[in-house]
Structure 1
Amino acid sequence: MLFLGLAFSIIIIFLGYKLFYAERQISSLIKQLSVINKNKSGGKITIGLSNKKIELLAEEINETIVIRKQSEAERMKVENDLKQTIANMSHDLRTPLTSIIGYLQFLKLDELSENEKKEYLEIAEHRAKSLEKLLNDFYELSLIESLDYEINMEKLNINKILQEIILGRYADFAERDITPNIEITSNTLYVMAEKKSLERIIENLLSNAIKYGKDKIDICLKEEKGGMLLTFSNTFTSLTEEDMENIFDRFYMADKTRSGRGTGLGLAIVKGLVEKMNGTISSDIKGDMFNIYCSFQIIN
């Protein structure tokens, strides 16, 4: 009996110690969490190694802290991107609006000749159309980036669509005095895409090359690794690593003066449409050529 009583006492003392130690660990967890939450830091919980369940709890808490920190960083990035978008849009809206208002005020002057009035009216109309394009592009991009934007996919012959769009831009090439180097595979390539969206992608990439290309434009469509690769390349005057990192961002322009040659939304629209249709898009610089690569899976 004495032995049983002694054994029972030892067990009670051991369990009491385990409970006391567990309570200390839990109190430590609460205190550390309180400090982390108060300071809004990304620190992690530390504990002893005697209780597996408390260890697992601490690991889960630490994982939650990491996720919260990542979410906070993403939220800050979204807020900064939104602020930058609003700032850029405000600038790009204000520029044509100020010009339109200025020329309309000129038109009120009595001493203007009819020719001058006609000239000022044409300039104001041109600025108004630029403003309309900016608003239309921004509206389109906002729709594309919405979660409920619908894409009606169908089987499309991308060779045919590309050829038709290139032929339709012949006058633009002639105006820039550029003869494009065109390489389109003889194999007919079919992709699953929405026709109007695929046409918009090609139109925007072609417009970008024509608008900013210095003196040479290459267009290539080929089959690669079970998919198709569409490449638009053009010589350029000045692009930096920063430009490459941000080229598909909303309102981003390599021209820091924002001189009005574009809205800064064309490539953002392209990226949004490509990704909506399960494609990929990227860019790089090789030698004196700026390249944009667009790829989709080929279907039979």
Structure 2
Amino acid sequence: MFKRGIRRQIVLHYFFVVFLALLLVEVIFLFAIRAYYYDSIFGHIKNHVEVVTDFVGGRSDTEENVSQELLNTFKLDKTQYEILDDQGNVLINSTGFESDRRVQTSDLPQALAGDIGRWVGRETTTGEQVMAVSKKFQLSGENVYVIRYVTSLKGVNEKLFTITLLAALIGVAVLAVVFIFSVGLANSIVRPINNITQVSAQLAKGRFDKRVKGNYRYELGELASTLNYMAEEIVRTNQVKDDFISSISHELRTPLTSIKGWSETLNMGDYDPEETRVGMRIISKETERLIGLVEEILDFSKLQQNEMKLVMNRVNLREILQEIMLNVWAKGEQKQVHLKLEAEELPYFVQGDANRLKQVFLNIVDNAVKFSHENSWIFLTLQKENGFISVAVQDTGIGISEEHLAKVRDRFFQADHQHGGTGLGLAITQQIVELHHGEMVMQSELGVGTTVTVTLPAAEDEEPEEELSSYTEEGPEDEKEVI
């Protein structure tokens, strides 16, 4: 009826759980009803037997007189009584027929032991199910006898059968309702899953305009929202990738055009020495620019594949920042942008890769110079507190809008395409800082300026054996750590 799948599993599991629970309840109910009826019959006969034994107990009459008096006074409808000796032989019964049979049921030993015996079973002669209740008594204070009442359970069993049939019909009706409900429940789960599966198949074929439609609840709603978000992110990533390809193509074409043009010019001959120097200077500059672009792309690829290795040493952040200020001094002079380092006379050592940390801060400071106004200042602040060293680079440039600030560290994202670049610089910077177990926080306001703060764990304070001109304090080979 159902093909293999989640719908079938839900229906079967739900149906069988309810079926087993219902079966257990009905079995307990039927046993309780049967016990109630049987106990009621036993209680009624037991009370009657106790009255009878109290009446005949201790009397000196003969068995015949006692039997006749019991028959006239203490008879029960649809119940026969018997008087047995202590061996189980039937001496007298209410039918009036002599019997030579011997009673061997379990109620007799119970009665002889002083209890009220009870036995439920089938009569050997008729095969009918009966209940026997027995209790001993004495005549003349000497002879021990057992009075035994036997009643048929046919009527009770017929009622129990009717109740059982009615309970079974109710159970079937309940299972039918449960089956219909479970099918509806399964469909409410499977249909959204089928819809989500179809949309996923379309997305796998490259149709990223497809979305999961429908207001689904709970986990299915979360799954649909996640799939739609994934599709939107794929579209955005593809757009960013296309923009990156367009941007990097332009970035590569510009220096290559300059190199090609000057190479052809120098190759033609008839040039003066000054023109040669200018051409070679431009070729060298554009070549360095190309190398920087390629290295940036390679660094990003290594970070994405977790292949970037860091050579860890004790690094002096003050000397790194001082060297970076010298590197960007010429670029800052062109825009009349001034840089100032503010730091107390403290050791600012961290455990890290000096070259990669220089790459981090060079990128941050270079961006600050690039987006600063003319005749402005950039402040580099070093602070050490609670086992961490923070470097804040603050400018008063064009700033970043709140919308772009959340995305500026995403790969390939460019807030300002006019200044060029691959859009990978801050993404690489972020990941390098994280590899050093640090944190980079950006605060910016459009038209006011930007502050980038990098916080790194401070290295344990150690006194260097001698003043080093390098920004790294290298120890023995076995103290270096490569991660």
TM-score, with length taken from structure 1: 0.76
Counterpart position of 1:49: none
Q: Could you tell me which of 427, 436, 445 is aligned with 1:277?
A: 436
Task: Extract unaligned runs of 5+ from structure 2.
Answer: 1-160, 200-210, 461-483
Of structures 1 and 2, the one scoring higher in RCO (CA 8 A, sep 6+) is 1
Counterpart position of 1:208: 367
Aligned-residue offset at 1:116 = 3.4
Task: Extract unaligned runs of 5+ from structure 1.
Answer: 47-58
Counterpart position of 1:65: 224
Is structure 2 residue 149 aligned with structure 1 residue 2?
Answer: no
Structure 1 letter corresponding to 2:214? G
Structure 2 letter corresponding to 1:232? V
Is structure 2 residue 181 aligned with structure 1 residue 21?
Answer: yes
Is structure 2 residue 409 aligned with structure 1 residue 248?
Answer: yes
Aligned-residue offset at 1:60 = 4.3
Post-superposition CA distance 1:95-115 (Å, at most 9, x none): 111222223333344665454
Counterpart position of 1:81: 240
Counterpart position of 1:41: 212
Give distance in 2, aligned partners of 1:212 and 1:27. 58
Structure 1 contact 278–296 (Cα < 8 Å) conserved: yes
Aligned-residue offset at 1:272 = 2.1
Is structure 2 residue 264 aligned with structure 1 residue 93?
Answer: no
Give distance in 2, aligned partners of 1:216 and 1:210. 9
Q: Could you tell me which of 379, 384, 396 is aligned with 1:223?
A: 384
Aligned-residue offset at 1:185 = 3.7
Identify if the C-alpha distance between structure 1 residues 258 and 142 changes in structure 2 by more than 3 Å, giving closer, same or farther.
same
Is structure 2 residue 397 aligned with structure 1 residue 233?
Answer: no
Structure 2 contact 255–290 (Cα < 8 Å) conserved: yes
Structure 1 contact 284–291 (Cα < 8 Å) conserved: yes
Structure 2 contact 216–224 (Cα < 8 Å) conserved: no
Identify if the C-alpha distance between structure 1 residues 151 and 282 changes in structure 2 by more than 3 Å, giving closer, same or farther.
same
Aligned residue-pair number: 282
Give distance in 2, aligned partners of 1:72 and 1:251. 18
Give distance in 1, aligned partners of 2:387 and 2:171. 68
Give distance in 2, aligned partners of 1:221 and 1:37. 54
Counterpart position of 2:354: 195
Aligned-residue offset at 1:8 = 1.6
Is structure 2 residue 265 aligned with structure 1 residue 106?
Answer: yes
Counterpart position of 2:172: 12
Give distance in 1, aligned partners of 2:292 and 2:304. 18
Q: Could you tell me which of 237, 243, 257 is aligned with 2:418?
A: 257
Q: Secondary structure at the match of 1:257?
A: helix
Give distance in 2, aligned partners of 1:270 and 1:119. 34
Identify if the C-alpha distance between structure 1 residues 16 and 167 changes in structure 2 by more than 3 Å, giving closer, same or farther.
closer
Structure 2 contact 412–424 (Cα < 8 Å) conserved: yes
Aligned-residue offset at 1:143 = 1.6
Structure 1 letter corresponding to 2:264? Q
TM-score, with length taken from structure 2: 0.50
Q: Secondary structure at the match of 1:180?
A: strand
Aligned-residue offset at 1:26 = 1.8
Give distance in 2, aligned partners of 1:19 and 1:182. 77
Counterpart position of 2:318: 162
Post-superposition CA distance 1:128-150 (Å, at most 9, x none): 22212211222122223322333
Identify if the C-alpha distance between structure 1 residues 211 and 9 changes in structure 2 by more than 3 Å, giving closer, same or farther.
closer
Q: Secondary structure at the match of 1:6?
A: helix
Q: Greater shift after overlay, 123-132 or 68-77?
A: 68-77
Give distance in 1, aligned partners of 2:341 and 2:325. 13
Give distance in 2, aligned partners of 1:280 and 1:268. 13
Aligned-residue CA RMSD in angstroms? 3.3
Identify if the C-alpha distance between structure 1 residues 97 and 231 changes in structure 2 by more than 3 Å, giving closer, same or farther.
same
Identify if the C-alpha distance between structure 1 residues 89 and 172 changes in structure 2 by more than 3 Å, giving closer, same or farther.
closer
Higher-Rg member (1/2): 2
Counterpart position of 2:29: none
